[in-house]
Amino acid sequence: MSEIQEFRAETRAWLSENCPPGARGPGPVPIGSKSIKLDSDVRLWLDRMVERGWTVPTWPREYGGAALTNVEYSILIDEMTRISARPPLTGRGVNYIGPTILEYGTEDQKTRWLPICAGGEGAWAMGYSEPGAGSDLASLQTKAVREGDNYVINGRKTWTSDAMYCDFIFALVRTSPEKSRYDGISLMLIDLHQEGVDVTPIPLISGASPFCETLFQNAIASAGDVIGGVDNGWTVGKRLLQFERSTHAGINISGSQGGRSEVSNLPELVAKYVGMQASKIADPAIRSRTIAHEMNSHAQKITQRRAIAELSSRAPGFTSSAVKLTNALNLQEADELLMQAMGNCAHHWNTEGGATEAEVAAVKKWLYNKSLTIAGGTKEVQLNIIAKRVLGLPD
């Protein structure tokens, strides 16, 4: 047996013995927050995977990982998918700030923060956007002023997803307002549980509040928690965005989610509404749209696998923009297609009018997935990056 075959056999045996039933199939994946209570199976799964280093399988062992190679990583994901094992941990700790600290952090920062991310001992919010700074991120105004060993932070971050459940936030702040707008920014780690930080959920029309506004009024961050050097935040912060976009694209191999592909039952769902079996959808327009979508999904999966195979770090650079965008457009097309097939059944916001829960969920997913071409940088911003950085077109 080759080493790779041995690795697969051992992985399969270990997963089968250690992944509890409550951690298989659809269900919640912890974001590492101390304020969310986990079901016992989910907790057990997280603890076991942390011990094995498989919450962050490619990270070095000394920081909580298992130092898996890309090939071993892909085998682990295949084997987890085979038994429908859920990722043990997700979120901005393992996927965004953790790999950024691995690339840009000092040894002290790595030793201090990475085991916290890998162990799911704290959930992270992302403090980039501000009321006046979205696509034009360099317009950000939140200020951090050095006082002794600390920075004192004042300003307002918006759209901070999940901040009400989070323990920490990584934020882009202006440390040298006198410098050019790109040169005076730093990436800083800030404890959310302190006086001077106010987190307010933003209620949406749907009734949900996935976002918050996070206000800093003389909040404190340690000067030792600036990642990648003072005033170097534009460079470090852009790399973090590549980790974010790669996560959206399914090609970030920091946590144990990269390279997973959802098993699509779209043709069956479409066929349910327009009649006939999946292989014989009667309406020719819907049939050809379904076939085109299946082909694009297959191409997307192959692209994801190729991107992972070619990685020399935990996520690609500008390629992340291209794969994030095609992934988002493909998922949105699936929703649009299903809505077209559902017809009148797609007009319900709740079950009161006789719609099923699955129909209401499909409508909400269709609306939510509109955000896939906004979050992590809009479609137009990704197209600009692809034009300039991937294709080398002039400004």
Ligand X SMILES: Cc1cc2nc3c(=O)[nH]c(=O)nc-3n(C[C@H](O)[C@H](O)[C@H](O)COP(=O)(O)OP(=O)(O)OC[C@H]3O[C@@H](n4cnc5c(N)ncnc54)[C@H](O)[C@@H]3O)c2cc1C
Is 161 or 296 the residue whose CB approaches ligand X more closely?
161
Least distance from ligand X to the Cβ atom of residue 378, Å: 3
Query: Applying CB under 6 A, which of residues 134, 196, 201, 317 lies at the interface with ligand X?
Result: 134
Site for ligand X contains 141 (CB under 6 A): no
Least distance from ligand X to the Cβ atom of residue 244, Å: 9
Amino acid symbol at 67:
A
Least distance from ligand X to the Cβ atom of residue 170, Å: 10
Considering the candidates 17, 244, 294, 310, report the single residue annotated as catalytic: 244
Q: Are 93 and 122 in contact (CB under 8 A)?
A: yes
Site for ligand X contains 135 (CB under 6 A): yes
Pair of tokens at residue 65:
């990982």
Q: Are 304 and 261 in contact (CB under 8 A)?
A: yes
Cα distance between residue 365 and residue 76, in whole Å:
29
Amino acid symbol at 106:
T
- Residue 101 region, left (φ>0) first, then alpha (ψ -120 to 50), else beta? alpha
Is 89 or 281 the residue whose CB approaches ligand X more closely?
89
The strand pairing partners of 202, in sequence order, are 211
Q: Which stretch binds ligand X (CB under 6 A): 17-25, 156-164, 231-239, 252-260?
A: 156-164
Q: Which 74-133 residues touch ligand X, going by CB under 6 A?
A: 126-129
Angle between helices 266-274 and 319-342 (to 10 degrees): 20
Q: Which residue is nearest to ligand X (CB)?
A: 134
Judge whether 244 counts as a catalytic residue. yes
Query: Applying CB under 6 A, which of residues 74, 141, 161, 296 lies at the interface with ligand X?
Result: 161
Cα distance between residue 324 and residue 242, in whole Å:
10
Is 33 or 303 the residue whose CB approaches ligand X more closely?
33
Binding residues for ligand X, total number by CB under 6 A: 17
Is 158 or 290 the residue whose CB approaches ligand X more closely?
158
The strand pairing partners of 222, in sequence order, are 150
Least distance from ligand X to the Cβ atom of residue 255, Å: 17
Cα distance between residue 373 and residue 352, in whole Å:
31
Cα separations (Å) of 378 from 181, 371, 375? 21, 9, 6
Is 278 or 374 the residue whose CB approaches ligand X more closely?
374
Cα distance between residue 226 and residue 389, in whole Å:
27
Is 68 or 125 the residue whose CB approaches ligand X more closely?
125
Q: Which 348-387 residues touch ligand X, going by CB under 6 A?
A: 371, 374-375, 377-378, 380-381, 384
Least distance from ligand X to the Cβ atom of residue 118, Å: 21
Least distance from ligand X to the Cβ atom of residue 21, Å: 31
Query: Applying CB under 6 A, which of residues 33, 58, 109, 160 lies at the interface with ligand X?
Result: 160
CA torsion through residues 353, 354, 356, 357, sign: positive
Cα distance between residue 50 and residue 118, in whole Å:
7
Site for ligand X contains 200 (CB under 6 A): no
Amino acid symbol at 146:
R
The SS3 of residue 79 is helix
**Structure-derived torsion over alpha carbons of residues 212, 213, 219, 220, reported in degrees to the nearest 10:** 50
Residues known to be catalytic = 244
Residues contributing to the site for ligand X (CB under 6 A)? 126-129, 134-135, 159-161, 371, 374-375, 377-378, 380-381, 384
